[in-house]
């Protein structure tokens, strides 16, 4: 998100879900859309049925490949080489949009130079994708002016996550596939309100509305709005707070509705860090693995028990409505926060959730025009600066906030950890269709548990033959950080040398073994590549 914001101006999906159906080309990279965003996949299938060509780049043969014109099964962590080679072909074959480049971009020559060496032949060696497929993808994507790029954590959860996004954005800039309907660079957000939590300023370097905490002017604005002196220091991200807790620099954590024991990399390390805290509060709807380590646990409400808004992946602010009463003494998160803030000496006085949204709109003009009344029937997409504004389905219609967009030069870097003699397989992690994130919700749905309640590791038929493994065998998968035991699932959806484990299962938590190496800019961990060994 940070990298997307740095390039274009906003860290969000540039276009809308509805526009997908009129795209000519859909380039999916690092997104298992059919399982993680099934209803967006429905739109893509609709486009497919109207004649759209779909390109899928993924280390696994994900279900969307069934609808693909071109499948690029690359080795995990080699995205930059693949994308740069596609850029190389687009430039070489003159498929770029010269007018767009001349008028709206800068740094084309440098970028051109940076991908000059990255021929399809060179990329084939690194990525394992055939040069023909790379050339075909370049021609399909570069040949369209109604082409959209879609990605998720498959390209961001790497030590080079920022660079991966930069490389993908280069393709859109190169072909002018941005700033118009049915185009764009579209990160699909994995959680219901991850867009909203980011918008609302739950980020250590940004106030609400992506306004920098280290800018004196911005700070002054928020100090005035909130009537309080604010810290001028950038804070720590989740992935930095955990090591800081281990180092004794963070003494207390207040965790609302998160389960880092399951969702953070290198889980043993996370547990050790949380145990070291002097004080931990967890506010949640279930006794999660993280809550079990807390000093105080507060029962809160789920989405069906409160009023408010969520912002979806396409920047649409939508209503959440109370349908049932919370169980027992559980209280809404907002009322808990207000009470604690008050006791800490700063009074938050909101009569209703809408009051909060209205205040949010005062400090961030992009949502100033959104009221509950206006989104009664249908949500509105920000930017929506005033109450007569209809919202913005796609961004940059009238140019970019910075005037021109800059191409990025993206050198290829190897993943932080590669397969070697001792750990000869590459593990990549993700979700499956049935379970969700740490599983605290879906694993309590008996029907889902009945169908998809068991942890498993996907292994290719070739590797399983080599290691004499059959479906259902119990395997120990180990990395330098830990080991888990789970059942083998032999499937050709993973490539030889790669294995896949879904992240949801606490009894065999993939994040016990994942690498906590971080991307330098975004501090995102490299969940998608780590070296492991397989034992029976």
Instruction: Please state, in angstroms and rounded to a whole number, the distance separating the CA atoms of residues 58 and 430.
Output: 12
Which of the stretches 127-135, 167-175, 398-406, 437-445 binds another protein when contact is defined by CB under 8 A?
A: 437-445
5 interacts with another protein by CB under 8 A: no
Nearest approach, Cβ of 146 to another protein (angstroms)? 21
8 A C-beta contact, residue 287 and residue 164: no
Q: Please say which residue, 105 or 290, places its beta carbon nearer to another protein.
A: 290
Alpha helix stretches (DSSP H) within 376-460: 446-452
Which of the stretches 106-114, 220-228, 398-406, 488-496 binds another protein when contact is defined by CB under 8 A?
A: 220-228
Return the residue of 103, 132, 339, 422 that touches another protein, per CB under 8 A. Answer: 339
Residue 265's alpha-carbon distances to 58, 197, 281, 354, in angstroms, are 21, 21, 21, 36
306 interacts with another protein by CB under 8 A: yes
383 interacts with another protein by CB under 8 A: no
458 interacts with another protein by CB under 8 A: no
8 A C-beta contact, residue 257 and residue 270: no
Which two tokens mark 492? Answer: 């050709």
Give, as ranges, the residues between 93 and 152 that touch another protein (CB under 8 A): none
Nearest approach, Cβ of 197 to another protein (angstroms)? 4
Nearest approach, Cβ of 112 to another protein (angstroms)? 32
Nearest approach, Cβ of 145 to another protein (angstroms)? 25
Return the residue of 150, 434, 500, 505 that touches another protein, per CB under 8 A. Answer: 434
8 A C-beta contact, residue 151 and residue 168: yes
Instruction: Please state, in angstroms and rounded to a whole number, the distance separating the CA atoms of residues 225 and 363.
Output: 8
Instruction: Please state, in angstroms and rounded to a whole number, the distance separating the CA atoms of residues 107 and 101.
Output: 9
Query: Judged by CB under 8 A, how many residues of this single chain contact another protein?
Result: 150
Q: Please say which residue, 1 or 171, places its beta carbon nearer to another protein.
A: 1
193 interacts with another protein by CB under 8 A: yes
Nearest approach, Cβ of 142 to another protein (angstroms)? 26
CA angle 35, 37, 42 (to 5 degrees): 95
Block residue for tokens 């190897």:
414
8 A C-beta contact, residue 52 and residue 24: yes
Instruction: Please state, in angstroms and rounded to a whole number, the distance separating the CA atoms of residues 419 and 485.
Output: 20
184 interacts with another protein by CB under 8 A: no
Q: Describe the crossing of helices 120-127 and 131-142 by its angle, rounded to 10 degrees.
A: 120
Q: Please say which residue, 306 or 506, places its beta carbon nearer to another protein.
A: 306
Instruction: Please state, in angstroms and rounded to a whole number, the distance separating the CA atoms of residues 381 and 316.
Output: 4
Return the residue of 70, 73, 195, 266 that touches another protein, per CB under 8 A. Answer: 195
287 interacts with another protein by CB under 8 A: yes
Return the residue of 5, 218, 348, 517 that touches another protein, per CB under 8 A. Answer: 348
Which of the stretches 75-83, 122-130, 197-205, 481-489 binds another protein when contact is defined by CB under 8 A?
A: 197-205
492 interacts with another protein by CB under 8 A: no
Q: Please say which residue, 36 or 170, places its beta carbon nearer to another protein.
A: 36
8 A C-beta contact, residue 338 and residue 323: no
Instruction: Please state, in angstroms and rounded to a whole number, the distance separating the CA atoms of residues 326 and 225.
Output: 33
224 interacts with another protein by CB under 8 A: no
Rounded to 5 degrees, φ, ψ at 507 are -75, -15
491 interacts with another protein by CB under 8 A: no
Return the residue of 360, 400, 412, 425 that touches another protein, per CB under 8 A. Answer: 360
Q: Please say which residue, 241 or 499, places its beta carbon nearer to another protein.
A: 241
Q: At 280, is the secondary structure helix, strand, or coil?
A: strand
Instruction: Please state, in angstroms and rounded to a whole number, the distance separating the CA atoms of residues 311 and 192.
Output: 7
H or E, element range at 484: strand 483-490
533 interacts with another protein by CB under 8 A: no
Give, as ranges, the residues between 234 and 273 that touch another protein (CB under 8 A): 234-239, 241, 244-245, 249-258, 260, 263-264
Give, as ranges, the residues between 510 and 529 that touch another protein (CB under 8 A): 522-525, 527
Q: Please say which residue, 296 or 520, places its beta carbon nearer to another protein.
A: 296
Nearest approach, Cβ of 515 to another protein (angstroms)? 13
Block residue for tokens 């280390």:
59
Alpha helix stretches (DSSP H) within 321-435: 333-343, 353-363
Return the residue of 24, 58, 79, 284 that touches another protein, per CB under 8 A. Answer: 284
CA dihedral 237, 83, 192, 45 (to 10 degrees): -170
């Amino acid at each position: 998100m940070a990298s997307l914001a740095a390039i274009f101006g906003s860290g969000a999906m540039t276009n809308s879900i509805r526009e997908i159906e009129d795209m000519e080309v859909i380039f999916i990279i690092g997104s298992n859309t059919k399982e993680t965003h099934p209803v967006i996949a429905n739109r893509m299938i609709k486009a497919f049925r109207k004649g759209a060509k779909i390109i899928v780049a993924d280390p696994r043969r994900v279900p969307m490949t069934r609808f693909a014109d071109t499948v690029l099964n690359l080795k995990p962590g080699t995205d930059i080489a693949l994308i740069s080679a596609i850029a190389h072909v687009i430039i070489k074959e003159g498929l770029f949009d010269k007018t767009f480049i001349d008028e709206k971009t800068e740094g084309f020559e440098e970028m051109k130079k940076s991908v000059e060496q990255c021929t399809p032949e060179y990329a084939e060696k690194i990525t394992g994708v055939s040069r023909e497929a790379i050339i075909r993808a370049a021609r399909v994507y570069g040949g369209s002016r109604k082409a959209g790029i879609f990605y998720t954590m498959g390209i961001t959860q790497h030590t080079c996550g920022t660079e991966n996004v930069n490389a993908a954005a280069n393709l859109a800039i190169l072909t002018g596939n941005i700033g118009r309907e049915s185009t764009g660079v579209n990160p699909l957000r994995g959680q219901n309100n991850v867009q909203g939590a980011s918008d609302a300023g739950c980020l250590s370097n940004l106030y609400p509305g992506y306004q920098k905490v280290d800018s004196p002017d911005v700070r002054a604005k928020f100090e005035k709005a909130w009537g309080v002196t604010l810290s001028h220091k950038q804070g720590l991200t989740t992935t930095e707070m955990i090591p800081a807790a281990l180092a004794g620099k963070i003494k207390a954590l207040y965790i609302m509705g998160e389960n880092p024991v399951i969702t953070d990399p290198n889980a043993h390390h996370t547990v050790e860090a949380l145990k070291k805290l002097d004080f931990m509060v967890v506010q949640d709807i279930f006794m999660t693995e993280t809550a079990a380590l807390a000093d105080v646990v507060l029962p809160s409400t789920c989405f069906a028990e409160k009023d408010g808004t969520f912002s979806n992946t396409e920047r649409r602010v939508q209503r959440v409505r109370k349908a049932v009463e919370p169980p027992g003494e559980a209280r809404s998160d907002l009322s808990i926060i207000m009470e604690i803030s008050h006791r800490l000496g700063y009074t938050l006085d909101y009569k209703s959730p809408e009051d909060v949204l209205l205040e949010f709109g005062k400090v961030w003009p992009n949502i100033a025009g959104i009221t509950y009344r206006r989104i009664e029937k249908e949500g509105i997409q920000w930017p929506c600066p005033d109450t007569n504004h209809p919202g913005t389905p796609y961004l940059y219609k009238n140019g970019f906030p910075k005037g021109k967009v800059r191409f990025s030069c993206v050198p290829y870097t190897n993943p932080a950890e590669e397969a070697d003699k001792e750990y000869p397989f590459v593990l990549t992690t993700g979700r499956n269709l049935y379970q969700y994130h740490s599983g605290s919700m879906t694993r309590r749905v008996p029907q889902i548990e009945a169908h998809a309640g068991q942890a498993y590791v996907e292994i290719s038929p070739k590797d399983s033959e080599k290691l004499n493994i059959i479906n259902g065998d119990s395997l120990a998968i180990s990395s330098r950080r830990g080991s888990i035991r789970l059942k083998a699932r032999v499937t050709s959806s993973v490539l030889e040398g790669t294995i896949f484990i879904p992240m949801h299962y606490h009894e065999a938590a993939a994040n016990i073994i994942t690498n906590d190496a971080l991307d330098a800019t975004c501090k995102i961990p490299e969940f998608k590549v780590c070296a492991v060994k397989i034992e029976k």
